[in-house]
Amino acid sequence: MQSTIETAGTGDLRIGGAYAGAGRNLAQLHSTLWTNPGGRDVLRHALRGDALPSFVQIAIDGDDVNLFGPTLRGFLVAQGSDGATLPGATLRRVGGPQIPFTASDGPRHGFALATATLPKTQDRRFFRFTLACDFAGAPEPEERTFLLPRSHA
């Protein structure tokens, strides 16, 4: 099962084994890599020498999506063009408190969400929540909305 992170205006980003599975057409996967905004930024940097823009991505650990435990582990990458963590980076659930995060390696930071506090869809089969990352100089927070299955136990 793959989880989906909905990103405004950029389509869906699949996590949790998006490149796993025999019989997939690797040429197609590689060619679609460059259709997302981050891939295009890398191409502009490599081919034209453009500066890399700031990069923010929020993801939920693929293993936790299917385990249905009391906590979801996630990762925040908030990286400037120099590769360092963006100054003043904060993470919060929209409509909720700030979420503490810890440095795990370089600009990647780990965080945890208690599943008991996450909003559920009307039929109670999914968690649906939005996480926002803000940093010094950002015109507005970067937001990612998640729709994840809940345990049926």
Instruction: Quote the CA–CA distance of 132 and 58 in Å, as a whole number.
Output: 8
Residue with tokens 């919060």: 92
Predicted confidence at residue 94, as pLDDT, reads 92
| pLDDT mean over 11-21 | 36
Q: 107 or 88: whose pLDDT is higher?
A: 88
Predicted confidence at residue 31, as pLDDT, reads 60
Predicted TM-score (pTM) of the model is 0.68
Predicted confidence at residue 99, as pLDDT, reads 92
Strand 108-114 versus strand 102-105 pairing type: antiparallel
Which tens digits make up the pLDDT trace of 55-76?
A: 888 888 877 776 667 888 888 8
Domain boundaries, the chain: 3-149
